[in-house]
Amino acid sequence: PQTIFLKDYEAPAFAVESIALCFDLREKGTRVLSTMTVVRQSENMPNLVLDGDPQMDLLSIKLDGTPLPAGRISRAGEQLTIKDMPASGVLEIEVEIEPQNNARLEGLYKSGGNFCTQCEAQGFRNITFFPDRPDVMTRFTVRIEADKAAYPVLLSNGNRIEQGDLGAGRHFAVWEDPFKKPAYLFALVAGDLGVLSDQFTTRSGRTVALHIYAKARDLPKCQHAMDSLKRAMRWDEEVYGLEYDLDIYNIVAVSDFNMGAMENKSLNIFNTKYVLADPQIATDTDFDNVEGVIAHEYFHNWTGNRVTCRDWFQLSLKEGLTVFRDQEYSADQASRSIKRIHDVKTLRAFQFPEDAGPLAHPIRPDSYIEINNFYTVTVYNKGAEVIRMMHRLLGVEGFRRGMDLYFQRHDGQAVTCDDFVAAMEDANGADLGQFRLWYAQAGTPELTIEDHWEESTGRYELHIKQSVPQTPGQTEKAPMHMPFLLGLIGPNGQEMDAELVAGEGTRHDAGWLLHIRQSDNRYQFSGLGSRPIPSLLRGFSAPVTIKASLNRADKLFLTAHDSDPFARWEACQDVMIETLLDLVKAVDAGQPLDVGQDLIDACEKILEDAQSDPAFAAELMTLPGEAYIGQMMDVVAVDAIHHARIHLRHVLAHALESHWRRLYREMTDTVFGLSPEQKSRRALKNVALIYLAALGDNETARTHYAQSNNMTDRLAALQVLVNGSDDAARDAAFADFYDRFEMEDLAIDKWFALQALSDKPDTLKTVRTLRNHSAFSLRNPNRLRALVGSFASGNQLRFHAVSGEGYAFLSDIVKHVDQLNPQTAARLVLPLIRHERYDPVRAGLMRKQLQALLNVDGLSKDVYEIVSKSLM
Ligand code: DPP
Ligand code: ZN
Same domain, 426 and 451: no
| Residue-range definition of the domain harbouring residue 410 | 308-440
Same domain, 361 and 474: no
Q: What is the mean pLDDT of the chain?
A: 98
Same domain, 329 and 425: yes
pLDDT in tens, 208-227: 999 999 999 999 999 999 99
CA distance 128 to 312: 20
Element (H, E) at 161: strand 159-167
pLDDT in tens, 148-205: 999 999 999 999 999 999 999 999 999 999 999 999 999 999 999 999 999 999 999 9
214 alpha carbon – ligand 1 mean position (Å): 20
Same domain, 481 and 411: no
268 alpha carbon – ligand 1 mean position (Å): 10
CA distance 828 to 62: 43
Which residue's alpha carbon is nearest to atom 7 within ligand 1? 319
406 alpha carbon – ligand 1 mean position (Å): 21
| CB-CB contact of 544 with 444 (8 Å) | yes
Which residue's alpha carbon is nearest to atom 2 within ligand 1? 262
Pairing of strands 4-5, 367-368: antiparallel
Residues with CB under 6 A from ligand 1: 120, 259, 261-263, 296-297, 300, 319
> Which is the closest atom of ligand 1 to the Cα of 319?
7
Which of 105, 184, 263 to mutate to test ligand 1, by most ligand atoms within 8 A of the CB atom?
Answer: 263
Which residue's alpha carbon is nearest to atom 1 within ligand 1? 262
Element (H, E) at 57: strand 57-63
pLDDT reported for residue 348: 98
Q: Is residue 598 part of a domain?
A: no
- The answer for 440, left when phi > 0, alpha when psi is -120 to 50, beta otherwise, is alpha
Q: Residue 43 — pLDDT band, cuts 50, 70, 90?
A: confident
Same domain, 179 and 101: yes
Q: How large is the ipTM? A: 0.97
> Which is the closest atom of ligand 1 to the Cα of 261?
1
> Which is the closest atom of ligand 1 to the Cα of 304?
6
Q: Which of 412, 440, 468 is at the close of a domain?
A: 440
pLDDT in tens, 342-362: 999 999 999 999 999 999 999
123 alpha carbon – ligand 2 mean position (Å): 16
Same domain, 8 and 150: yes
Same domain, 464 and 423: no
Element (H, E) at 467: strand 459-467
Same domain, 186 and 324: no
The four Cα atoms 203, 204, 207, 212 give a dihedral, to 10 degrees, of -40
Whether 461 is catalytic is no
Q: Considering the entire predicted model, what is its pTM?
A: 0.99
pLDDT at residue 701 tops 90: yes
380 alpha carbon – ligand 2 mean position (Å): 8
* 132-161: b (≥16 Cβ within 10 Å) or e: bbbbbbbbbbbbbbbbeebbebbbbbbeee
pLDDT in tens, 394-442: 999 999 999 999 999 999 999 999 999 999 999 999 999 999 999 999 9
> Which is the closest atom of ligand 1 to the Cα of 296?
4
Which of 375, 377, 378, 827 to mutate to test ligand 1, by most ligand atoms within 8 A of the CB atom?
Answer: 375
> Which is the closest atom of ligand 1 to the Cα of 300?
4
Q: Which of 440, 456, 474 is at the close of a domain?
A: 440
Which residue's alpha carbon is nearest to atom 3 within ligand 1? 262
825 alpha carbon – ligand 2 mean position (Å): 21
Query: Using omega within 30 degrees of 0 as the cis cutoff, is the peptide bond preceding 121 cis?
Result: yes
Q: Which of 297, 319, 425, 570 is catalytic?
A: 297
CA distance 423 to 432: 10
Q: Which of 392, 423, 440 is at the close of a domain?
A: 440
We report the CATH number of the domain holding residue 476 as 2.60.40.1840
Q: Which residues 6+ apart lie within 8 Å of 12 measured at CB? A: 41, 131, 133, 135, 136
Number of domains in the chain: 4
Which of 262, 305, 378 to mutate to test ligand 1, by most ligand atoms within 8 A of the CB atom?
Answer: 262
